[in-house]
Structure 1
Amino acid sequence: MPTVFQVSPYSFIFFSSDRGEAAQIHVKRDRQLTKFCLNPVFIDKNRDLKEHELSQIRL
């Protein structure tokens, strides 16, 4: 899973196995992971990131 960029403590990554799905980016912190679809931007899945963290990431 290549890292697109890092904004401490968050890694923005993609999975090559996501082929055939809409454009998306995954945000990871420790063992927590959220998947954002990019067009339009919305949270597709969230695994344990808190709402205040999601608000920061969306900015």
Structure 2
Amino acid sequence: MPTILRIGPFRLYFYSHEPNEPPHVHIDRGEATAKVWLEPVDVAKSRGFRAHEINGILAMVVEHRPMLLEAWHEYFG
């Protein structure tokens, strides 16, 4: 489960056993978790985040999307 980025209380990471899925990132803050697709940026699933927090998470992913995609392709090939 490589951590790609930490932003404040958020941890962005990949599960190493998901190489056959489209590029995405998992985001945790405490007990809350989300899975966000990178192409296009959209929520795949979320548990524990409120709607306004999801909007902020999507904005954070959009801001760091080039780096996240690069990390995805470097890790999964």
Is TM > 0.5 for Structure 1 vs Structure 2?
Answer: yes
Q: Give the length in aligned residue pairs.
A: 59
Any unmatched runs of 5+ in structure 2?
60-77
Max Rg structure: 2
1:37 and 1:9 map into 2 onto residues whose CA distance is 20
Q: What's the CA shift for 1:14?
A: 0.6
More strand by share: 1
Q: What's the CA shift for 1:56?
A: 1.1
Q: Match of 1:18, SS?
A: coil
Counterpart of 2:47, as a letter, is R
What's the CA shift string for 1:5-46, capped at 9, x where partnerless?
A: 111111111100111000000110011110001111110011
Any unmatched runs of 5+ in structure 1?
none
1:33 and 1:44 map into 2 onto residues whose CA distance is 11
Under a length normalisation based on structure 1, what TM-score does the superposition of the two structures give? 0.91
Q: What residue in structure 2 maps to residue 40 of structure 1? A: 40
Under a length normalisation based on structure 2, what TM-score does the superposition of the two structures give? 0.71
